[in-house]
Amino acid sequence: MSAQSATEALTPENLIADMAVSAQAAQRDLAAMPSAARANALRLAARHLLDNRNAILEANSRDLAAGRERGLSKAMLDRLMLDDARLKAVSAGVAAVADLPDPVGEIIDESLRPNGLRLSRIRVPIGTIGIIYESRPNVTADAAALCVRSGNAALLRGGSEAVHSNRAILSAFVSGLEEGGVPGTAVQLVPTQDRAAVGAMLTASGLIDMIVPRGGKSLVQRVQADARVPVLAHLDGICHTYIHSAADPGMAKALALNAKLRRTGICGAMETLLIDANFPDAQGLVGALLDQGCELRGDASIQALDDRVIPASANDWDTEYLDAVLSVAVVGGLDDAMAHIARHSSAHTDAIVTSDDGAAEHFLSRVDSAIVMHNASSQFADGGEFGLGAEIGIATGRLHARGPVALEGLTTYKWLVRGTGQARP
Amino acid sequence: MSAQSATEALTPENLIADMAVSAQAAQRDLAAMPSAARANALRLAARHLLDNRNAILEANSRDLAAGRERGLSKAMLDRLMLDDARLKAVSAGVAAVADLPDPVGEIIDESLRPNGLRLSRIRVPIGTIGIIYESRPNVTADAAALCVRSGNAALLRGGSEAVHSNRAILSAFVSGLEEGGVPGTAVQLVPTQDRAAVGAMLTASGLIDMIVPRGGKSLVQRVQADARVPVLAHLDGICHTYIHSAADPGMAKALALNAKLRRTGICGAMETLLIDANFPDAQGLVGALLDQGCELRGDASIQALDDRVIPASANDWDTEYLDAVLSVAVVGGLDDAMAHIARHSSAHTDAIVTSDDGAAEHFLSRVDSAIVMHNASSQFADGGEFGLGAEIGIATGRLHARGPVALEGLTTYKWLVRGTGQARP
């Protein structure tokens, strides 16, 4: 705590300001470290997580006991739970981030002006990233690792149900960073006791450079509504798959089943299936989904195909079920499908299945979602699957970064101008 | 006006919503046009501006007459004024933007995943850009041209003092666009009568994708304070030049004079000069600035060098004069200079003058402003000087785009995924 905050009332705003100012100072040092030194500090952090196994698991069992007492759901308790295997995975994840290529310092482009000025744009860290998340304690280490690798400071605000786990993880992580020469204040936990601290983070313009909410829809909604700091997030993943008239029926069936049912709770899961009126096997496709236990809510044409189809209401076209439920409509053709997507998509991931490459390229160029796919399952919408190594989140906004966001999305750029005394005429 | 707004009360919010919805539809068509067709439409717009010379100059003379009646300052009237030469320059500017390389469709990167998925990131327009500006009517054509070239729709809100000029320019511009096959609603003027329309633009999340304020500090301040839509702007240009101990005295003098006095009213003008305690010719440097009629506000060491130096107050280090006034301080060395800049810079443009390349590279890597210069005048901070052809503005925020922003800054990207039936295991 700084001298200032010891004498003034510690409002949430000056708590966050104090933390952010020390984070900014640490970030300047972190950004100036050689890339290999940042990577090495992360490897030490990964090792300290294992070395502090007992303390972390003991802290986690306190959170679990408190959670059981508070009547948390089984699913919540499972998300909260750490064991040997999970802790090893957390540590391995941090070490893997250390091995990722470093975007900082990368030269985006260079030019030589006629007057001899040499210009270059180089990647630099964004600065201080605020991460607001819910029960999973692994986010503490994952998000901190991505921030440190890309030269950013992190202010982490986890859920109150994971408070002891998060503190134990952070303490081990920071001791590793410090052994590696990174100032400990580069990564800080915002106290969970003070609920108003979240509000103070969201409005800390000039102190926090970007907020990443990780959690359910109500968390993201609140962050997007209240933030004055830029937010990197997606609210909904209302992902469409359009089965074109020229789709291979076998591929259409396989992709629809995978896109909907592989894991129903992830943001890349298909929520609406659009079937072309001229696709020859609509009945087989609908039947296969129903046979796998998927509830279908269809328009009149889809209802006519199978008794088990439930009528869709107007709401269904704008609903992210995150469950074995799917809205299904027949569309007149490619333009109809794209019009439906333009109206109802959350701009996360939308796909076409077709053997007609012309139709596919038209769809890829015209559909303006963060991710547009041809002949692939929307469940591939993931930083790991995209080869990014990890992700801080998936963004559906239009600025800065879209789709899976990893290290590059945690950087910005600056212009360097090297002259030999040029004055502007 | 849509059917909806004819029956409902036309609040500023549904006025902007109506305009934005028609702009979005036009933008989809615009983005789907071949690049050459967008360029051709802009060339036609440039020609229509000349063809409608009489109507535009007549409208401008009405604005000038009203401005004189309202007692606008000479400077304001000059900014508002169009004549043959200025209108030709506006038209030539539009034609020049048509000739710029098109960023839309550019492949940022591509990869092939082990499972055969082909990924590419391609540049796409941002969508609908809101531009809020003051008296200069040329902005109407400049900003519209940059938006159209990059496939974006534009909602333009100019100053009420230029209302007739802006309408006449827009009408000519749009008739050119339409002749070139661009829907006229791709570029629209927001009525100036309704002052609340600006507020509605600033909060039109999901309808307007980015706001660019062009004008004085109070305009930018208001936009930054009230906007819920991302804003691309700079509030201040508090640009520093640091004369290092190893600076060539002749170069130091030439660059300081140019950075401060070439044009004092632009955002890249130097506002604070930092002189190293070991620079051998501080007195000559200070004297040269004073001799050129620049008012110097100095710390005690600078005051000791010349009687004409006025004492600086604490405020001076955070002031953008935009005038022949300069704050000047002596700093102990490179670290001191960088600490001063970290504290007082508006992150626009900061420069070092030195013959020591090691010191220069340290400064370039550590100073985190949008533009960092070595041995060059900060007055080069400009899209044209950077070879970008034009600029929509200069940004000092950290996300999306920094420094001079031109066509590339008006784009974002999407991910394309091309598969052959891959389901996620």
Assign domain B3-232+405-415 to its CATH architecture: 3-Layer(aba) Sandwich (3.40)
Residue A398 has pLDDT above 50, yes or no: yes
- Please answer whether residues A194 and A364 qualify as being in contact, where contact means their C-beta atoms are separated by less than 8 angstroms: no
Q: Which region among A314-318, A387-391, B37-41 has the lowest average model confidence (pLDDT)?
A: A387-391
Chain B contact for A278 (CB, 8 A cutoff): no
B28–A419 C-beta distance less than 8 A: no
CATH number of the domain located at residue range(s) A12-232+405-415 in this protein: 3.40.605.10
**B150, B399, B405, B407, best to mutate vs chain A, most A CBs in 10 Å:** B399
Q: How confident is the model at residue A5 (pLDDT cuts 50, 70, 90)?
A: very low
Q: Identify the pLDDT of residue A2.
A: 44
Q: Identify the pLDDT of residue A146.
A: 97
Chain A contact for B126 (CB, 8 A cutoff): yes
B376–A419 C-beta distance less than 8 A: yes
A399 vs B contacts (CB less than 8 Å): 126, 209-210, 230, 399-400, 412
Chain B contact for A266 (CB, 8 A cutoff): no
Instruction: Please provide the DSSP assignment of B170-215 as one string.
Output: HHHHHHHHHHTT--GGGEEEPPSS-THHHHHHHT-TTT--EEEEES
pLDDT in tens, A103-113: 999 999 999 99
Find residues 366-385 of chain B whose CB sits inside 8 Å of chain A.
Answer: 366, 368-377, 379-380, 385
B380–A417 C-beta distance less than 8 A: yes
B413–A399 C-beta distance less than 8 A: no
Q: Identify the pLDDT of residue B364.
A: 97
Q: How confident is the model at residue A7 (pLDDT cuts 50, 70, 90)?
A: low
Chain B contact for A127 (CB, 8 A cutoff): yes
Question: Which CATH superfamily is A239-385 part of?
Answer: Aldehyde Dehydrogenase; Chain A, domain 2 (3.40.309.10)
A414–B398 C-beta distance less than 8 A: no
Q: Identify the pLDDT of residue B192.
A: 85
Q: Identify the pLDDT of residue B103.
A: 96
Rounded to an integer, what distance in angstroms lies between the CA atom of residue B68 and that of residue B76? 10
CB atoms within 10 A of CB A387: 14
Chain A contact for B191 (CB, 8 A cutoff): no
- Please answer whether residues A16 and A207 qualify as being in contact, where contact means their C-beta atoms are separated by less than 8 angstroms: yes
Q: In chain A, where does the domain assigned CATH 3.40.309.10 lie?
A: 239-385
B230–A386 C-beta distance less than 8 A: no
A248 vs B contacts (CB less than 8 Å): 421
Q: How far is A409 from chain B (nearest CA, A)?
A: 10
- Please answer whether residues B204 and B226 qualify as being in contact, where contact means their C-beta atoms are separated by less than 8 angstroms: no
Instruction: Please provide the DSSP assignment of A90-108 as one string.
Output: HHHHHHHHHHSPP-TT-EE
Q: Identify the pLDDT of residue A195.
A: 79
Q: How far is B356 from chain A (nearest CA, A)?
A: 12
Find residues 223-262 of chain A whose CB sits inside 8 Å of chain B.
Answer: 230, 248, 251, 254-255, 257-259, 262
Q: Identify the pLDDT of residue B8.
A: 59
Residue A170, H or E segment: helix A163-179
Average pLDDT over residues A234-260: 97
Q: Identify the pLDDT of residue A149.
A: 97
Nearest Cα neighbor of B418 from B109, B37, B117, B68 is B117
pTM of the full structure: 0.94
B32–A366 C-beta distance less than 8 A: yes
Pairing of strands A239-243, B270-276: unpaired
Rounded to an integer, what distance in angstroms lies between the CA atom of residue A183 and that of residue A26? 6
Tell me what ipTM this predicted complex has: 0.94
A423 vs B contacts (CB less than 8 Å): 254-255, 257-259, 262, 377, 379
Mean residue pLDDT across chain A: 95
Q: Identify the pLDDT of residue A245.
A: 98
Residue A4 has pLDDT above 80, yes or no: no
Distance of alpha carbon A195 from the chain centroid: 23
B424–A379 C-beta distance less than 8 A: yes
Average pLDDT over residues A130-136: 92
The SS3 call for residue A200 is: helix
Q: How confident is the model at residue A237 (pLDDT cuts 50, 70, 90)?
A: very high
Chain A contact for B342 (CB, 8 A cutoff): yes
B362-377 as b/e: b if 16+ CB within 10 A:
bbbbbbbbbbbbbbbb
- The rounded average pLDDT for each run of 10 residues, N- to C-terminus, in chain B (425 residues) is 53 95 96 96 98 98 97 93 97 96 96 97 98 92 97 96 97 98 97 88 95 93 93 94 98 98 96 98 98 98 98 97 97 98 96 98 97 98 92 94 96 98 97
Q: Identify the pLDDT of residue A10.
A: 84
Residue A304 has pLDDT above 60, yes or no: yes
Find residues 69-98 of chain A whose CB sits inside 8 Å of chain B.
Answer: none
Q: Identify the pLDDT of residue B3.
A: 44
pLDDT in tens, A182-226: 999 999 999 987 779 999 999 999 999 999 999 889 999 999 999
Residue A116 has pLDDT above 90, yes or no: yes
Output the CA–CA distances (angstroms, integers) from residue B27 to A170, A365, B146, B187, B392, in the order listed. Answer: 47, 14, 14, 9, 18
- Please answer whether residues A122 and A147 qualify as being in contact, where contact means their C-beta atoms are separated by less than 8 angstroms: no
Q: Identify the pLDDT of residue A329.
A: 98
Cβ-based neighbours of B95, under 8 Å, separated by 6 or more: B42, B43, B46
